[in-house]
Amino acid sequence: MSDATDSRQPRKLTMQDVARAAGVSPMTVSNCFRYPERVQEKTKSQVMKVAAELGYVPNLSAGLLAAGSSRVIGAVLPSMRNSSFYRYTVGLREAAAERGYAVITMIAETPAEELAAAQTLLGLRVAGLALIAGPHARELKRLVELSGTPVVEAWAGEDAIGRGVSYDVGGASSALTRHLIAQGRRRIGFVDVAGGGGMRYSMRLPAFRREMFAAGLADDLVMTVRAADGFGAGAQIIDDFLARDRRIDAVLCPTDVVAAGAIFECNRRGLSVPGGIAVAGWGDYDIGRQITPTLTTVAPFSDAIGRGAVSILLGDEAQRRGAPLLTAFNILPREST
């Protein structure tokens, strides 16, 4: 009875099975999964098709104990509500796949959750760990250092855990402020974000103030909010700014979602945008291209940040050190200014 039962157990497929069915060598099958850049596209497509038809799934942990790490990169995100993080993960996944790696993503909305996520990923012996700048648990940096795992911190500067990869956030803030001034705006409200976020937010206000000072304009219309998302935040911002100064003629918002909420509130009040108040956002979210008027914004190329993170994690020791890696950004003037 036992032998009959055992004979009905499905045999585990091997790389050799796929190789025979696809008419290639086992090494070619291995390269298709581990080093896809080494295999011609036609051959790779055939092997992957045969593997899927057979139901073959490679054991990515094979050789893990000997090598000490896997062909998997771990990424911890504070949220997926921010479309910049979505584009960032696209860049991570694409760049990793090109090198034969996969990406495991975990969401952690608090420093404690981030620490637990990092512990889980390091326990899986990931080949590298990608973090997002922000408030971290005190123990996180020490944990990563002791693990010996390559680490990169996106949207971080000189104080990054591992090496930082970002874009010139201060430069983007300066350029956007100069754009508003060039449009004749003189009473510009700036929305600052409290509670961390690394270079994503901390570099913006100083740059705004420098440009206002250089233009001989007052920089006293600054509002601090606790969160940088939600349409309701945009409505509250317009309410508060108008209560402080009815002459305000422009608002620089921390995200496109907040900016869209500000435009909705202006429409509700019968305030013309940009005739009465110009509104600028940040992030180049899809909503900014769809609303009326279309939204002036900063495009940070977050996918390039993701790709840069992979190049650091999978590079040599020299690439994991040094000054932050900076990617490009664009100012996209649209109808709202």
Q: What is the pTM of this model?
A: 0.76
CATH code for the part of the protein at 69-167+303-328: 3.40.50.2300
For the segment 166-170, the average pLDDT, to the nearest whole number, is: 93
Residue 68: is its pLDDT beyond 70?
no
pLDDT digits 0-9 by tens, 217-252:
999 999 988 766 678 888 889 999 999 999 999 999
Rounded to 10°, the helix 26-34/15-22 angle is 110
CATH 1.10.260.40 fits 2-54, yes or no: yes
Is there a shared CATH topology between the 69-167+303-328 domain and the 169-301 domain? yes
What does the pLDDT read at residue 91?
Answer: 96
Which of 75, 120, 125 has the alpha carbon at shortest distance from 302? 75
What does the pLDDT read at residue 228?
Answer: 65
What does the pLDDT read at residue 329?
Answer: 96
Residue 67: is its pLDDT beyond 60?
no
pLDDT digits 0-9 by tens, 145-159:
888 899 999 998 888
pLDDT digits 0-9 by tens, 286-303:
899 999 999 999 999 999
For the segment 331-337, the average pLDDT, to the nearest whole number, is: 97
pLDDT digits 0-9 by tens, 86-101:
899 999 999 999 988 9
3-state secondary structure the chain: CHHHHHHCCCCCCCHHHHHHHHCCCHHHHHHHHHCHHHCCHHHHHHHHHHHHHHCCCCCCCCCHHHHCCCCEEEEEECCCCCHHHHHHHHHHHHHHHHCCCEEEEEECCCHHHHHHHHHHHHHCCCCEEEEECCCCCCCHHHHHHHHCCCEEEECCCCCCCCEEEEECHHHHHHHHHHHHHHCCCCCEEEEEECCCCCHHHHCHHHHHHHHHHHCCCCCCCEEEECCCCCHHHHHHHHHHHHHHCCCCCEEECCCHHHHHHHHHHHHHHCCCCCCCCEEECCCCCHHHHHCCCCCEEEECCHHHHHHHHHHHHCCCHHHHCCCCEEECCEEECCCCC
Domain chopping of the chain, boundaries:
2-54, 69-167+303-328, 169-301
What does the pLDDT read at residue 5?
Answer: 46
Residue 7: is its pLDDT beyond 60?
no
Residue 65: is its pLDDT beyond 50?
no
CATH code for the part of the protein at 169-301: 3.40.50.2300
What does the pLDDT read at residue 331?
Answer: 97
pLDDT class for 9, splitting at 50, 70, 90?
low
Rounded to 10°, the helix 256-269/231-244 angle is 60
Query: How many whole angstroms separate alpha carbon 221 and alpha carbon 246?
Result: 11
pLDDT digits 0-9 by tens, 100-119:
899 999 999 889 899 999 99
Whether the link from the prior residue into 36 is cis, omega within 30° of 0, is no
pLDDT digits 0-9 by tens, 203-213:
899 999 999 99
Residue 81: is its pLDDT beyond 80?
no
Backbone phi, psi, residue 139, to 5°: -80, -10
